[in-house]
Structure 1
Amino acid sequence: MYEIVLQNLLSPYVLFFLLGIMAALFKSDLKFPNGLSEALSIYLLMAIGIKGGIELSHYALGTVMKPILGTLFLGVFIPVLSLIVLRFMKMDLKNAIGLAATYGSVSIVTYGATISFLGKNGVDYEGFMNVLIVLLESPAIFVSLFLLRLLQKAPDNQRIATHRLGFAAGIYSSMNGLFDKEVIKESLFGKSVLLLLGSLLIGWFVGQDAVSTVKPLFIDLYGSILILFLLNMGLIVGQRLPEVKKHGWKILLFGICMPIVGGTLGVFVGKMVGLSLGGATLMGVLAGSSSYIAAPAALKSSVPEANPSIYLGLSLGVTFPFNLIIGIPLYFAIAQLLQ
């Protein structure tokens, strides 16, 4: 385990990420233009999506059904578990919902770094794993927002209706609030989901014929561009770290323990649905990572009262570096033990 962590720590991906954090902490004038940062994000989303689509074209639907069901289970269970833990920690409902949605969703860059980690160690994985990223992006957001509508105090007229008609009326009222067009738009048609799903469908439709076209940009250059993106992420994390400190040690502990719990559960689910060593590791990363693109975008419009410095600061400032340095080799070691 120590050797795996050390090997991961000394990889160029992690070292450039740490360089970015150092630059931010020491107030360096190093910064990425906004346009370049956005372009790198779009590139990674498209690269992972289109590679997943090409690989998916090689599989029958029956082969991927169990992993899909396992992923949907994680997308529902993890935000519910996160909310229970956070409410036990006495966090207010709106911020607890923000963290539940963030930690139930997935970090596309952590997933990409894991692919590079597996490749460096010569470990294969199922090509359809990229499909599961898309499936895990939205369910946690919908589940968290549904729980918010269900738990927050309703207006008097809704409470009277709920009292008269029973629990079903409360559920109906919650569902009514959940399927707001803005919630649906941000959850399903936000940048990350749209690019991932669209690229995946294009890769799946074109299949192996697309390889010669996409290989020079989206496959050969993937590792190098990921390094640039992680350097920029290091700068952002270094700027967010002071915000996380303001919220006390309990929230810091959550940002480390929740990925371990979710990642371990993800590895177990991966093995139960028949995934290989690499596939189970990736399932662990999907379950143990936290979103800083799709979920925050949805929360911004759906739960404006939630504090971004908590859910975004914790995701970027604590969980992302923890997973990048320790989490990935940890989930890999757990998957090895289950082999």
Structure 2
Amino acid sequence: MYDILALAAANLISPIILFFALGFAAAMARSDLSVPEAIAKGMSLYLLLAIGFKGGASVAAHGVDATLILSLIAGVILSFILPFVAFGLLRKLTGLSVIDAAAVAAHYGSISIVTFVAASSVLSSAGIVAEGYMVAVAAAMEAPAILSALWLVARASGSLGQTRGRMDPGLLREILLNGSIVLLIGSFAIGAITGQQGLAKIEAFIVAPFQGVLCLFLLDMGLVAGRGLRQARGLLRPGVFAFGVLMPLIGASLGLAAGLLLGLSAGGVVLMMTLSASASYIAVPAAMRVALPEANPAIYLTLALGITFPFNLTLGIPIYMAVAQAVTGG
């Protein structure tokens, strides 16, 4: 327990967390502080490119092996399973409709790439090495949860005549060609092809500025989370709030089991736990607007971005690190 509290305290005073807290506090205080949308988009593209390229270069140095393939398979399986766990928990803790519960569940089967980047940054600061191919696992976990959520709605459509999930070729194409997925996978592939020599050529661009860009990006995320939470206070009933904290812990437990079965390093286990504990607020909301337009965006965005995202940044990642190090001895 002391180790967890010490890690949480160290994480809370790190620049990336403090900039998130600054943005959150500014939004709650109704400050006019803002980050232009074009700049926020540019920072998002930079972070995806940097983390993808570095992961690909790491794989080039490591080589493709059975653990990499099994990790990808495990990630896909987790992404399929987690929405069913989330859906069941939501139906017990909240009074959400089938559609709203399924839409929320999709977010908790997919991943938050920013939470993944933050966890990678914390690991790097602590001198803990993780498998570079976890970036590929993150990309593989983006879409399967959406299919699970649509299946949940389709299963209920027999008793709810107007309830339906729509999966057509256009939606599938939108999911698979989502900009974040394309850039993450593409930069990962380029990093894998060019290897350490390619990384050395652009190291000054994707390594040194990374922490500073992440701080500014999390300032913007704090502003977005604070404004969303302020506007949706009426939706935060006790059961909904409890879900936003409990589900990450359940997901992290499943990620821990998967990481241990795969024989990942302590850093790899932390990242698998983080991916399983996070909730999407980019790719999945875009898909839900098309597939389940009846679902209330205020509910799933407030949960993913206003509750689970801050929880993971402030307390979740230190907990996952402490547990992973204790279990693996790393």
Q: Would the aligned equivalents of 2:232 and 2:302 in 1 still touch at CA under 8 Å?
A: yes
* 2:134 aligned residue: 129
CA shift, 1:148, in A, is 1.9
CA shift, 1:242, in A, is 2.4
* 1:116 aligned residue: 121
Opposite residue 114 of structure 1, the aligned amino acid is: A
* 1:166 aligned residue: none
Opposite residue 48 of structure 1, the aligned amino acid is: I
Q: Would the aligned equivalents of 1:53 and 1:204 in 2 still touch at CA under 8 Å?
A: yes
CA shift, 1:91, in A, is 1.6
CA shift, 1:33, in A, is 0.8
Query: Residues of 2 paired with 1:63 and 1:331: CA distance?
Result: 21
**Alignment partner of 1:34 out of 37, 43, 61:** 37
CA shift, 1:54, in A, is 1.4
Query: Residues of 2 paired with 1:154 and 1:217: CA distance?
Result: 55
**Alignment partner of 1:279 out of 251, 255, 268:** 268
**Alignment partner of 1:3 out of 2, 6, 11:** 6
Opposite residue 220 of structure 1, the aligned amino acid is: A
**Alignment partner of 1:98 out of 89, 95, 103:** 103
Bigger radius of gyration: 1
- TM-score under structure 1 normalisation? 0.90
Task: Determine if the alignment matches structure 1 residue 268 to structure 2 residue 268.
Answer: no
Deviations 1:247-287 (A, max 9, x none): 21111110000001101221221111110111000100000
Query: Residues of 2 paired with 1:212 and 1:291: CA distance?
Result: 32
* 2:83 aligned residue: 79
Correspondences of 1:175-324 after superposition (within 5 Å): 177-178=166-167, 180-247=168-235, 248-324=237-313
Query: Residues of 1 paired with 2:32 and 2:67: CA distance?
Result: 50
- TM-score under structure 2 normalisation? 0.93
Query: Residues of 1 paired with 2:178 and 2:156: CA distance?
Result: 26
Q: Would the aligned equivalents of 1:182 and 1:301 in 2 still touch at CA under 8 Å?
A: no
Deviations 1:272-310 (A, max 9, x none): 111011100010000000001111111111111111111
Secondary structure of the structure 1 residue equivalent to 2:204: helix
CA shift, 1:16, in A, is 0.6
CA shift, 1:155, in A, is 9.7
* 1:67 aligned residue: 71
Opposite residue 73 of structure 1, the aligned amino acid is: I
Query: Residues of 2 paired with 1:2 and 1:310: CA distance?
Result: 31
CA shift, 1:154, in A, is 8.0
Opposite residue 129 of structure 2, the aligned amino acid is: D
Query: Residues of 2 paired with 1:225 and 1:255: CA distance?
Result: 27
Q: Would the aligned equivalents of 2:244 and 2:307 in 1 still touch at CA under 8 Å?
A: yes
**Alignment partner of 1:335 out of 319, 324, 330:** 324
Opposite residue 15 of structure 2, the aligned amino acid is: P
Give the direction of change, closer, same or farther, for the CA distance of 1:66–1:242 in structure 2 (3 Å limit). same
Query: Residues of 1 paired with 2:48 and 2:159: CA distance?
Result: 38
Deviates more, 1:300-309 or 1:284-293: 300-309
**Alignment partner of 1:47 out of 47, 50, 55:** 50
Deviations 1:112-146 (A, max 9, x none): 11111111111111111111110111111122122
Query: Residues of 1 paired with 2:114 and 2:160: CA distance?
Result: 41
Q: Would the aligned equivalents of 1:141 and 1:295 in 2 still touch at CA under 8 Å?
A: yes
* 1:170 aligned residue: none
CA shift, 1:47, in A, is 1.2
Query: Residues of 1 paired with 2:298 and 2:288: CA distance?
Result: 12
Opposite residue 276 of structure 1, the aligned amino acid is: S
Opposite residue 184 of structure 1, the aligned amino acid is: L
Structure 1 residue runs of 5 or longer lacking an equivalent are: 157-172
Give the direction of change, closer, same or farther, for the CA distance of 1:155–1:333 in structure 2 (3 Å limit). closer
Secondary structure of the structure 2 residue equivalent to 1:38: helix
Secondary structure of the structure 1 residue equivalent to 2:187: helix
* 1:23 aligned residue: 26
* 1:161 aligned residue: none
Opposite residue 35 of structure 1, the aligned amino acid is: A
Secondary structure of the structure 1 residue equivalent to 2:141: helix
Q: Would the aligned equivalents of 1:244 and 1:252 in 2 still touch at CA under 8 Å?
A: no
Opposite residue 180 of structure 2, the aligned amino acid is: S
Query: Residues of 1 paired with 2:277 and 2:323: CA distance?
Result: 13
Query: Residues of 1 paired with 2:135 and 2:72: CA distance?
Result: 11
Q: Would the aligned equivalents of 2:83 and 2:105 in 1 still touch at CA under 8 Å?
A: yes
Opposite residue 277 of structure 2, the aligned amino acid is: G
Structure 2 residue runs of 5 or longer lacking an equivalent are: none
Q: Would the aligned equivalents of 1:190 and 1:297 in 2 still touch at CA under 8 Å?
A: no
Opposite residue 111 of structure 1, the aligned amino acid is: F
Opposite residue 151 of structure 2, the aligned amino acid is: F
CA shift, 1:36, in A, is 0.4
